[in-house]
Amino acid sequence: MIQLFRMAFRDLGRNRRRTFFSILALAMGLALLILMASFINGEMSNAMDTTIQLQSGHLQLRAQNYDERKASLKWENLIEDPTKVAGQISALEPVVAAAPRLFASGIATARDQTAGVKIVGIDPGSVTNDPYREGLVSGEYLAPDDREGILIGRPLAEKMGLDVGDQIDLTANTSNGDVSEQLFTIRGIYSTQTRVFDSAIVFLPLAKAQAMTGTENHASTIFVLLKDKDQTDAVVNALQTSNNKILTWTKMNEVIIQTENMANSYMSLFYLIVLAVTATVIINTLIMAVFERTREIGILAAIGMKGRRIMAIFLAESSILAVGGILLGLVLGYLAVAYLERNGFYVGNMAVGGGGFLIRDTVYAKFTLEGTINLSIMAFVITLLAGLYPAMMAARMEPVEALRAEK
């Protein structure tokens, strides 16, 4: 066995340039796939994290008959005394924070321009709203008792030509079906780097939003963030007695999970295509080696080496190529992934809105150990399979004809 690999290793050393390029082809293919897998992984976990952070939370508590699409403001569709409910949920051990939010449809008007917006009333002091506080690009954050201030997203500000201190007229639906209108002063402009979110959402302090929409002491939802999303079920069980319905992040973000599954099946096809291309390089290299060494194969057969063993020499060569290619591919792939983990890849406005999911405009790769191991195993198996045909070709040579060859 050792002799077999020693021989195979030396055989590969005869044409070092060709061996190097075969290994490089496999390495580049594998590196590309590791990068792709890590990119998809980064994109999907970006989508999930961003959507959880900005839109869904890990859990939401809502009134049984609340219809998200209608953004109903009727009292019977809302949670009563939300601050108290949020306080109770916050007391649970796995919960980072729970805070009420009130949603209302509205129209923003400034100068001659109007835009449809979603008004979100928030508790400015809650850490659940940190992404907006931290995302401030100019001006100040909202104070809980601010009665005239509003926070708007950068894309909306740019579209309407607004800046901090400018005034904006907001019209909103109310709980009794009327509309109310009020002039607000832009306190701050935020950016979550998620264009579809930032251009549609404006924030008011919860109390002001309740006052404007006539929903005193009610909220559309209790938005809950957990320390670890694996603890979701535990918290759901703890809250089960409540009259309200509980939505989990998996339920709210089914689209992301489905998209990820779809992306994974497309990627598997892509992996096979790339590895099949690199396999042809390996096949080509080994077929050339078989032709170049036909007479040697004849000599080995003459001294009594059986076809099986001759085959094993060539399979050993392809496994050495595979190991070399995989090792180099892991290094190249890891370097590329490390670069994109650091610097990210600008994808622009890829976010999907309306019950969909949110992706930030820069996607950072996320190294996937499982994907890398799977790809390496796949590359090894495919390279060995690629070696099978040349190896069989060598094993089936008639000794007499092989000995007659020029080389």
Binding site for another protein (CB under 8 A): 3, 7, 10-11, 13-14, 295-296, 299-307, 309, 399-400, 403
In whole angstroms, the minimum distance from the beta carbon of 326 to another protein comes to 24
In whole angstroms, the minimum distance from the beta carbon of 304 to another protein comes to 2
Nearer of residues 102 and 297 to another protein, judged by Cβ = 297
Nearer of residues 159 and 309 to another protein, judged by Cβ = 309
In whole angstroms, the minimum distance from the beta carbon of 292 to another protein comes to 11
Nearer of residues 111 and 404 to another protein, judged by Cβ = 404
3-state secondary structure the chain: CHHHHHHHHHHHHHCHHHHHHHHHHHHHHHHHHHHHHHHHHHHHHHHHHHHHHHHHCCEEEECCCCCCCCCCCCHHHCEECHHHHHHHHHCCCCEEEEEEEEEEEEEEEECCEEEEEEEEEECCCCHHHHHHHHCEEEECCCCCCCCCEEEEEHHHHHHHCCCCCCEEEEEEECCCCCEEEEEEEEEEEECCCCHHHHCCEEEEEHHHHHHHHCCCCEECEEEEEECCHHHHHHHHHHHCCCCCEEEEHHHHCHHHHHHHHHHHHHHHHHHHHHHHHHHHHHHHHHHHHHHHCHHHHHHHHHCCCCHHHHHHHHHHHHHHHHHHHHHHHHHHHHHHHHHHHHHCEECCCCCCCCCCCCCCCEECCCCCHHHHHHHHHHHHHHHHHHHHHHHHHHHCCCHHHHHHCCC
Nearer of residues 146 and 317 to another protein, judged by Cβ = 317
Nearer of residues 11 and 43 to another protein, judged by Cβ = 11
Nearer of residues 118 and 295 to another protein, judged by Cβ = 295
Nearer of residues 236 and 288 to another protein, judged by Cβ = 288
In whole angstroms, the minimum distance from the beta carbon of 378 to another protein comes to 31
In whole angstroms, the minimum distance from the beta carbon of 402 to another protein comes to 10
In whole angstroms, the minimum distance from the beta carbon of 11 to another protein comes to 6
Spatial separation of the C-alpha atoms in residues 224 and 57, rounded to whole Å? 6
Nearer of residues 31 and 297 to another protein, judged by Cβ = 297
In whole angstroms, the minimum distance from the beta carbon of 308 to another protein comes to 8
In whole angstroms, the minimum distance from the beta carbon of 296 to another protein comes to 6
